[in-house]
Amino acid sequence: MKMIIQPRDERTQPARIIAGYPQTPLRSPKEPLVKRAPTLSELSGPLEVAKRVKLLGGDIAGQGEKQAIGQLIHLRVRVLDEDGAPVGGAVVEMWQANAAGRYIHPNDDDHAPPDPNFYGAARVVTDESGVFELRTVKPGAYPVPTRDGWWRPPHVHFSVFGRVWLARLVTQMYFPGEPLNAQDRILNAVPDAAARDSLVARYIPPGVEPYNALVFEHQIVLRGRAATPAQP
Amino acid sequence: MMIPTGEATIGPFFPPRYVDAGANDLTVFEGRKAKGEAIEIHGRVMQEDGTALENLIVEIWQADAGGIFRHPADPRHAQADPNFLGWGRAATDAQGNYRFKTIRPGAQEGRAPHINFMVMFSGLMRILKTTMFFEDGKDPVLMAVPAARRSLLIAKGNYEFNIRLRGENETPFFDD
Ligand SMILES: [Fe+2]
């Protein structure tokens, strides 16, 4: 089994401490991270997480009376390893705000209404071509109430289990053409412009299935020089 | 009702059912008991000022009682305990404590018994990885850590492993 792991390129990864995110200076290690030569322990990893956690399928926008409010969107996301090979059987966890920019979470404040028909999270497994698809509603932006006020643009959180422990990735996906992308402190904490762009999904013009939702395609690279940047 | 603070409203906001019931118990898999010595690992997770962190997500990955990983990269994986997944997830409580029930892992050639940890939380732009050991020794991953900080990776008692994200006695994290 081929198990060469290239390091991530530091320029493609976000700064650990950023202005306007007051938790980052309290929680990011001060000491330099320790470099280690990977052993079997890091070059293996859980492959059967789906047997331990509850999967929650590809339609979180709901149907009939249980439909969430918002712009229907369809996400088609491919998970790749560092060689660009699809990672089939990967567990992907996703969560997002509702169309008004509100999460179901005790710490989220009352700036916007909850949607009783929207749980806002999914857990899926990629197919043999590394792809998973999700029907959801487009998340709303939400304000960050720090003194110099900024907003999180519409985004979706992903947590991905690759084939090895070193490939564990937690990141976010953004939407193209959003004016708030340019001021987002978290997206712009990634120094390399191409790496930032790789966090933005691609809008697919009408004419492809499904016909009743806006389609976005995206790809997530778990490791290597072209690795998708981590995001909180 | 919580007062909206910076803490309260940047996120990430993990979904309510993100940590499945039983996900922190590795001693049972699909209703069957794993082989080996059942142990409990617990610890408190703190930020720079010593404040305990609630609802922080901790994951672990480890070998089974025989030191075998449930993964094809392990040449012995055909002999892995079928009733041991090796992965678990926990969230910290209001006092910042997490808890796992698991099996004491066996050693591999060249590696001392150990458990890999991963932490994800608000304020962490990237997930953090560390490794817990049961005792001091010649393990290559432990030896990669500056000598003065190695003791921070060794569990105390039966088995306490605190994680300090930053500051005094900061846990060594690995550049993965
Ligand atoms: Fe978010």
Ordered structural domains, chain A, with CATH:
48-221 (2.60.130.10)
With a CB cutoff of 8 Å and minimum separation 6, the contacts of A181 are A153, A174, A175, A187, A200
Q: Is the pLDDT score of A3 beyond 60?
A: no
Compute the distance between CA of residue B70 and CA of residue B34 in angstroms, rounded to an integer. Answer: 13
Q: Give the tens place of pLDDT for each residue, B101-156.
A: 999 999 999 999 999 999 999 999 999 999 999 999 999 999 999 999 999 999 99
DSSP letter at B9 equals H
**Residue B62 is assigned to a structural domain of this protein:** yes
Q: Are strands A214-221 and A131-137 parallel, antiparallel or unpaired?
A: unpaired
B13 lies in some domain: no
A120 has a pLDDT exceeding 50:
yes
Query: Is B47 close to A26, i.e. CB distance below 8 A?
Result: yes
Query: What are the angstrom distances between the C-alpha of B10 and each of A119, A192, B149?
Result: 19, 23, 32
Whether pLDDT at A4 is above 80: no
Q: Is the Cβ–Cβ distance between B128 and B18 less than 8 Å?
A: no
A118 has a chain B CB within 8 A of its CB? no
Amino acid at A4: I
**Whether the predicted interface score ipTM is above 0.90:** yes
B110: domain CATH number is: 2.60.130.10
Asked if residue B23 belongs to a domain, the reply is no
User: Which amino acid is located at B78 in the chain?
Assistant: A
- Per-residue pLDDT at B6 exceeds 60: no
Q: Which of A155, A167, A144 is nearest to A47 (CA)?
A: A167
Does residue B88 form part of some domain? yes
DSSP symbol at B150: G
Q: What is the pTM of this model?
A: 0.96
Give domain status of residue B169, yes or no: no
- Between CA B66 and CA A8 the distance in angstroms is 32
Q: Which among B70, B127, B141 is the nearest to A36, CB-wise?
A: B141
**Residue of chain B with shortest Cα separation from A4:** B73
To the nearest whole number, what is the mean pLDDT of chain A? 94
**Is the pLDDT score of A80 beyond 50?**
yes
HEC assignment per residue over chain A: CCCCCCCCCHHHCCCCCCCCCCCHHHHCCCCCCECCCCCCCCCCCCCCHHHCCCCECCECCCCHHHCCCCCEEEEEEEEECCCCCECCCCEEEEEECCCCCCCCCCCCCCCCCCCCCCCCEEEEECCCCCEEEEEEECCCCEEECCCCCEEECCEEEEEECCCCHHHCEEEEEECCCCHHHHHCCCHHHCCCHHHHHCCECEEECCCCCCCCCEEEEEEEECCCCCCCCCCC
Q: How far apart are CA B164 and CA B145, in angstroms?
A: 16
Residues of A tagged active-site: 103, 142, 152, 155, 157
Instruction: Tell me if B170 is assigned to some domain.
Output: no
Rounded alpha-carbon distances, angstroms, from residue A148 to A144, A145, A230, B10? 9, 8, 24, 13
Cα diameter, chain B? 53
Size of interface A-B (CB pairs under 8 A): 229
Number of domains within chain B: 1
Give the structural domain span for B109: 28-164
Rounded Cα gap, residues A87 and A161, in angstroms: 10
pLDDT of residue A111: 84
With CA atoms as reference, report the closest residue to A98 among A123, A128, A117, A120.
A120
Cβ-based contacts of B171 with chain A (< 8 Å):
29
